[in-house]
Amino acid sequence: MSNTQLADRLEAVAAELRAFPTPTDALRLLQGLSNAIDAEKVALVAEVDEHRDFEAEGCSSLKNWLRDQLHLDGADAARLKRSAKVLRDMPGLADLATAGAVSLDHVDAFGYAAKHIDPMVVEHSMDWMLRLAERAEPAQIRKAVKKLRDTAHPDDLDEAWLKGMDQHDIKVSAVGDGVAVTGFLPFDTGTKLKTLLQSLSAPTCAEDDRPVSIRRVTALDQLLSGILASGLPQDKGVRPHVTLTADLTQLADDVSTATAELAGFGTIGPAQLQQMLCDADLTPILTAGKHTVLDVGRTHRLATPTQRKAVVNRQGGTCAGPGCHGPVVHVHHVQYWSDGGTTDLANLVGLCPRCHAAVHQGFFTIDPHTHQTHPTLRTRRTSRRTRAG
């Protein structure tokens, strides 16, 4: 479209607007005109780039000129230049853009096709893509282009799948006032999670007006609670739990102002503490004085569930092995049971499986009074009799 043609079109649209059309007709007129103006801007950008007119005005590049003279940001400037190439290579699309039938968002979708799909496939598919562009929004065009690419280049899907394996991860970190969940899941795992959350977060009734964000978080809590209620194998029958350490004196004085330490997170306020105390199973763990309630001497070899909770709480849930940050899985006798050690709290320490094996192999020892670990220098192979820890 020449400058004269665009000027004529502007005058024609202005005349139609002065005729007081309905608001819907006016919007259609203005959108078509906006699309046509964008197409003309793209054509002019291509012309300025071809003749390097920006150099005559003291700019080193077209992008810099667009920023300086039209006050466009880098993304918009790059888009105009990118669209110029697409419209030059796709004359059918250029005709639609000049007529105002498609927007630059549509042009971007065709640009993706030109970049990622075999040119012969794009040329063969151009007719139906143009027909779709005249009546569909850009998102539908992008979806159709993505489908075309997947059909034309199925090997790319497998390559993306293999590359994605290196990114598979999930992290749960205490951040600010809550916990941040980040990660990258494979399609099958992510779809399973999404399906479960969609099912569990559906409104419970017509009056359920909770925001969808609240329903999703509640759904995840229900999912986790249902799994944890039956316990985990490595916890020896003890159901997984959250350790909450509170001052007994403070609780007795005024629970409405008491705070507590939530393991793995930090200090929580009185309102949250009261809620957690309301629907929790409580295991009192004395942090001062004699631990007679938790001591069973030689009556039992294995640590009791209550002792196990006390050990995990004392160590903050972390293995006592030197430099280890793994979870507590095994409860070990500092003085071996086979050497007369008692199943008392003072003689118990929590270890991960690897560190438990290491202490029995003599790689480190544990101080019976402080429970501090000390690496052992082993200069030769020694034959050790396996003893019950």
Condensed to tens digits (0 to 9), the pLDDT of residues 30-73 reads 898 899 999 999 999 999 999 999 998 888 899 899 988 999 98
pLDDT score for 385: 43
pLDDT score for 114: 93
pLDDT score for 381: 42
Low-confidence ranges of the chain (pLDDT < 70): 1-3, 160-162, 164, 230-256, 263-266, 274-299, 377-389
pLDDT score for 295: 63
SS3 214: helix
Cα 250 to chain centroid, rounded: 38
Residue 268: phi and psi, rounded to 5, are -120, 155
Looking up tokens 């250029």, which residue turns up?
Answer: 94
pLDDT score for 340: 82
For residue 318, give the nearest of 350, 347, 348 by alpha carbon: 350
pLDDT score for 48: 92
Structure tokens at 257: 């102002």
Alpha carbon separation from 244 to 15, 38, 172 (Å, rounded) = 74, 61, 19
CA dihedral sign, ordered 90, 91, 94, 95: negative
